[in-house]
Structure 1
Amino acid sequence: MISYNTKDWFTFIFRFHKADTFRTLMPIMLAIGAYSGIVGYLEVEYWKLADNSYVKNITIMHGMLGFVISLLLVFRTNTAYDRWWEGRKMWGALVNNSRNFSIKLSAMLHDEKDRKYFRKMIPSYASILHKHLNDDDTSKQLFEDVDLEIDHHKHKPNQVAKMLFQKINDLYDSKKITGDQLIILNEEVKSFTDICGACERIKNTPIPYSYSAFLKKFIFFYVMTLPFGYSFSLGYYVVPVVVFIFYVLASLELIAEEIEDPFGSDENDLPTQKIAENIKKHVEELI
């Protein structure tokens, strides 16, 4: 995730980060600029359409549809940001639940062997969830001195949660914790699985295809018709105007596409690996 100063206006205006949409859209912006110039030339210089031509009234359509496209883009960006923020809340909850789990185990357990087991396994869940959400394979060598015994053809976070609960149940069977303590610790393990399910829901349920495809087509045809109406009043200045309008509309769509899946490797995605490392540090301090 990009670190920046929210109050530094000039950095935002004049700096082009590699994640900036301007870099991504540059080829198509040049193509649209050339297209707008050709349309402007044909209307003004070649066809020499009169000012009372019906083509000039196309701008009425743009005025009517501008409000519609703005509503669609607002809904699109808000929906994408809600997914990004929900993912951040889920990982924030994982941090807090890992801390609470560690604090309770630290007070309940006195055997150093048991404490060492949870000191390794609780951070393991966060690390494997990070790998799981990024669709990367997790190997047994990921964590030193811990034999995870994971079957890689199965759901990895579920296997780690199962191992955590199995250990807690073994502690109860060996009378190291009471039945009330077993219930308390069981809720902490359950919260891990709930968080995993919520993250998978975000990961596996993108914006409906029909909505996304329609919005892209809407932006494309809206921009492609702009030069026909505004060439009369702007002349060749229609080129930068149309390019700028396309940049604004397409950038909003690109930003929404990037943040709607917050668990990837894009510049603006959540730093889940860093969060998992912080969980490891906090758990080792507590247990």
Structure 2
Amino acid sequence: MVQYNTKDWITFIFRFHKADTFRLLLPLMIFIGIYSGFIGYLEVSYLNLPENSYVRNIGAMHGMLGFVISLLLVFRTNTAYDRWWEGRRMWGSLVNNSRNLAMKLSVILRDEHDRAYFRKAIPGYASILNKHLKNEETGLSLFEGLDLKIDHEKHRPNQVAKMMFEKINDLYNSGKITGDQLIILNSEIQSFTDICGACERIKNTPIPYSYSAFLKKFIFFYVMTLPFGYAFTLGYYVVPVVVFIFYVLASLELIAEEIEDPFGDDENDLPTKKISENIKKHVGEIL
């Protein structure tokens, strides 16, 4: 995840980070600039359309559709950010639940061998969950007709949670913990699985295809028709204006695409590896 100073305006404006959308959109921006210049030349210098031409009124359509596209982009961005923030909440809950389980075990368990087992198992779950969510095939588990290489019968986070519960059950059978303590510890381990399920829901349930495809087409055709309406009033200045409008609209869509899957390896994705390392550090201090 990108580290930055929220109050440093100069850096934001004049520095181009590798996660900046400008680099990704530059080829398309060049193409749209050339296209806009060509349309402007046809309308202003070649066709010499009269003042009462209906082509001059195309700008009215852009004014009406601009409100619609702004609503769609706001909804798209908010939906993507909600997915990103929910993923952060789930990993924050994993941190707290790992600490709670470690603190309870540190008080209940007296055998150093048992404490050493959970000292490795609890952060091990976070580490395995991090790798599980970064696996591309995890995000394809709900798609039909795909022959995935991953063996879903051996769900790795579930295997770690099962091992921890088996260990707790053995402690109960050996009389090291009471029935009440078994119930308390069971609820803590169950919360791990709940968090895993919530993260998987975000990972393998993308934004509906029809909505995402429609928005991209809408942006493309909206921008491609802009030179027809504004070439008469702006002349060749229509080139930078249309390129800038495309940059703003397409950047919002790219940002939403990046953050809607917060468990990947993009620059703005959640630092799940760092969080799992912090869990290992904290659990080690407690146990």
Q: TM-score, normalised by structure 1?
A: 0.94
Amino acid at match of 1:278: N
Structure 1 residue matching 2:193: 3-state secondary structure: helix
- Separation in structure 1 between the aligned mates of residue 14 and residue 212 of structure 2, nearest angstrom: 31
Instruction: Answer yes or no: is 1:13 the counterpart of 2:13.
Output: yes
Give identity over the alignment, percent: 81
Aligned to 2:263: 263
Aligned to 1:249: 249
Aligned to 2:158: 158
Instruction: Answer yes or no: is 1:80 the counterpart of 2:80.
Output: yes
Cα distance, 1:239–1:161 mapped onto 2, change above 3 Å: same
In the TM superposition, 1:5-154 aligns within 5 A as 5-135=5-135, 154=154
Q: 1:51: Cα distance to partner?
A: 2.5
Q: 1:154: Cα distance to partner?
A: 1.1
- Separation in structure 2 between the aligned mates of residue 209 and residue 154 of structure 1, nearest angstrom: 30
Q: Residues 47-87 of structure 1: CA distance to partner in whole angstroms, max 9, x if unpaired?
A: 01122210010000000000000000000000000000000
Aligned to 2:229: 229
Q: 1:153: Cα distance to partner?
A: 5.8
Q: Residues 230-266 of structure 1: CA distance to partner in whole angstroms, max 9, x if unpaired?
A: 0000000000000000000000000000000000000
Aligned to 1:179: 179
Instruction: Answer yes or no: is 1:275 the counterpart of 2:278.
Output: no
- Separation in structure 1 between the aligned mates of residue 232 and residue 211 of structure 2, nearest angstrom: 34
Aligned to 1:142: none
- Separation in structure 1 between the aligned mates of residue 268 and residue 120 of structure 2, nearest angstrom: 30
Q: 1:22: Cα distance to partner?
A: 0.2
Structure 1: where are the runs of 5+ without partners? 138-150
Structure 2: where are the runs of 5+ without partners? 138-150
Amino acid at match of 1:78: N
Q: Does the 8 A contact of 1:40 with 1:227 survive in 2?
A: yes
Aligned to 1:209: 209
Amino acid at match of 2:43: E
Cα distance, 1:261–1:239 mapped onto 2, change above 3 Å: same
Q: Does the 8 A contact of 1:101 with 1:188 survive in 2?
A: yes
- Separation in structure 2 between the aligned mates of residue 136 and residue 268 of structure 1, nearest angstrom: 17
Q: Does the 8 A contact of 1:51 with 1:232 survive in 2?
A: no
- Moved beyond 2 Å, runs of 4+: none
- Separation in structure 2 between the aligned mates of residue 73 and residue 34 of structure 1, nearest angstrom: 26
Structure 1 residue matching 2:103: 3-state secondary structure: helix
Q: Residues 71-120 of structure 1: CA distance to partner in whole angstroms, max 9, x if unpaired?
A: 00000000000000000000000000000000000000000000000000
- Separation in structure 1 between the aligned mates of residue 242 and residue 132 of structure 2, nearest angstrom: 43
Amino acid at match of 1:47: L
Q: Does the 8 A contact of 1:219 with 1:249 survive in 2?
A: yes
Q: TM-score, normalised by structure 2?
A: 0.94
Q: Does the 8 A contact of 1:90 with 1:195 survive in 2?
A: yes
Q: 1:276: Cα distance to partner?
A: 0.2
Number of matched pairs: 274
